[in-house]
Amino acid sequence: MRIGAVTFPGTLDDSDTLRAIKASGAEAVALWHGDADLRGVDAVILPGGFSYGDYLRAGAIARFAPVMDEIIAAARGGMPVLGICNGFQVLCEAGLLPGALLRNAGLHFVCRDQWLKVENNTTAWTSRYDAGAEIIVPIKNMDGRYAATKSTVDELEGEGRVVFRYTGGNPNGSLGDIAGISDPTGRIVGLMPHPEHAIGALTGPSDDGLGMFLSVLDSVVAA
Amino acid sequence: MARVVVDVMPKPEILDPQGQAVARALPRLGFDGVSDVRQGKHFVLEVDDAVDDETLHRIAEGFLANPVVEEFVVRRVQA
C-alpha cells in the first residue's frame, strides 16, 4: 500500500503527513510538484501550507503544477485524494471539489484545537469513524471560510457530502459550519483542519486524525 | 503592445470582511459618510497585439478570478 504526499513550493505539512501515513502502516511516498509522476501510489494527499505564498489566491497557482495534471486524471479515475488545509484549497481551485475557501470572517489567523463532527462515515477517508463521532484536531489557517453558491451548499447537504462540521464554535464563518466536503463518489475529500497533526498524544491533542489515514487503507484494499 | 486592466471583485453576495474592516476604520480616522467598502484586486497586463479579447477573457476567468466567488471586468486601457 503506497500513499503519496505532495510537496509544492511553500508546503509546510508534508513531513507530518508522511509521518501519519507511516503510522497507519502504509508506505509513505514523497511526491514532487514538478514531476508529472505519481510513482505508483494507491492514494494521494495534498498537505497544508502556503503553496506559492498563497499568491493570487490560496491554491490558485499550485493547481497548475505538473503533478496536478496526474492527480486530476487519477482522481477522475477513482483514486482516493485527500486535501488538507491548503490541499483543500488546491482541490477547490482545481475543480475537483466545489466552492472556495476565503479569508476568515474574523480576519484572524486561527490556530487552535478544534472539535469536528464526522457527518459522513461512508467516504474513502472516514470509514473508520463512527457516524456522528466528535473528534478534536488542530486547525491553523487564514483562509478557511468555506463559501459556495446556495445551490451548491444545498446539493452538498442533500447528498450527505458535508463530511466534517465544526462543533463548539465556527472558527471562520464557514457556511453551514462546513469544515470538510467530498465529491459525489466519496473518494475525493477536503477539509481545513489537520488530521496529520493529531495522530498521537506526544505531538497532538489526540490520535483522532489517524482514522483518516487508516480509512483510506480499507478503501484501497476493498477496491 | 496594449495595456489591459482586469478588475476582480468578490461577488455581491459574498461576505467581504476585509472591506468591512476598512469601512469600520474610516470613521476612526475622521472620515465620515462612507457607508460601505468592498475590496478586490486590480491587475495591469502588458500584452502583445496578437492577444485577442477572447484570450484575455480566458485568462481572467480561468486564473485571475475564481468565478465561484468573484466577478471580473476586462478593459483595454491603451491601444
Which pLDDT does position A223 carry in this prediction?
A: 73
**Domain of B55, in residue numbers:** 2-78
Which pLDDT does position A80 carry in this prediction?
A: 98
CA–CA dist A192, A87 (Å, integer): 8
Q: What is the pLDDT of residues A107-142, one digit of tens each?
A: 999 999 999 999 999 999 999 999 999 999 999 999
Contact A93 B64 (CB under 8 A): no
* A194 labelled catalytic: yes
CA–CA dist A155, A162 (Å, integer): 10
In chain B, which ranges are E strands? 2-10, 41-47, 70-78
Residues of chain B with pLDDT under 50: none
Helices (H), chain B: 17-28, 53-59
Is any Cβ of chain B less than 8 angstroms from the Cβ of A110? no
Domain borders along chain A are: 2-222
Structure ipTM: 0.89
Q: What is the pLDDT of residues A137-161, one digit of tens each?
A: 999 999 999 999 999 999 999 999 9
Concatenating the DSSP letter of every residue in A144-173 gives -EEE--HHHHHHHHHTT-EEEEE-SS-SS-
Closest Cβ–Cβ partner in B10, B64, B68 for A99: B68
What SS3 class is residue A71? helix
Nearest CA in chain B to A63: B63
Which pLDDT does position B79 carry in this prediction?
A: 62
> What are the cell numbers at B32?
465620515
* Total tally of structural domains belonging to chain B: 1
CATH 3.40.50.880 for the A2-222 domain, yes or no: yes
* A196 labelled catalytic: yes
Which strands, in side-by-side order, build the sheet including B2-10? Answer: B41-47, B2-10, B70-78
Average pLDDT over residues A21-36: 97
CATH number at residue B63: 3.30.1280.10
Contact B66 A98 (CB under 8 A): no
Using a CB-CB cut-off of 8 Å, the residues of chain B touching A104 are: 17
Q: Minimal CA–CA distance to A74: which of A34, A115, A38?
A: A38
Helix (H) or strand (E) holding A17: helix A14-23
In A41-133, which ranges are E strands? 43-46, 81-84, 100-102, 110-118
Strands A188-191 and A81-84: parallel
Distances (CA, A) of A175 to A26, A152, A202, B70: 35, 11, 33, 17
CA–CA dist A48, A87 (Å, integer): 6
Q: Minimal CA–CA distance to A57: which of B45, B74, B46, B10?
A: B10
In chain A, which ranges are E strands? 2-7, 27-32, 43-46, 81-84, 100-102, 110-118, 134-141, 145-147, 162-166, 178-182, 188-191
Kindly report the nearest CA distance between residue B45 and chain A, in angstroms: 14
Does residue A129 contact residue A210 with C-beta atoms inside 8 Å? no
Average pLDDT over residues A90-109: 97
Q: What is the pLDDT of residues A199-216, one digit of tens each?
A: 999 999 999 999 999 999
What SS3 class is residue A72? helix
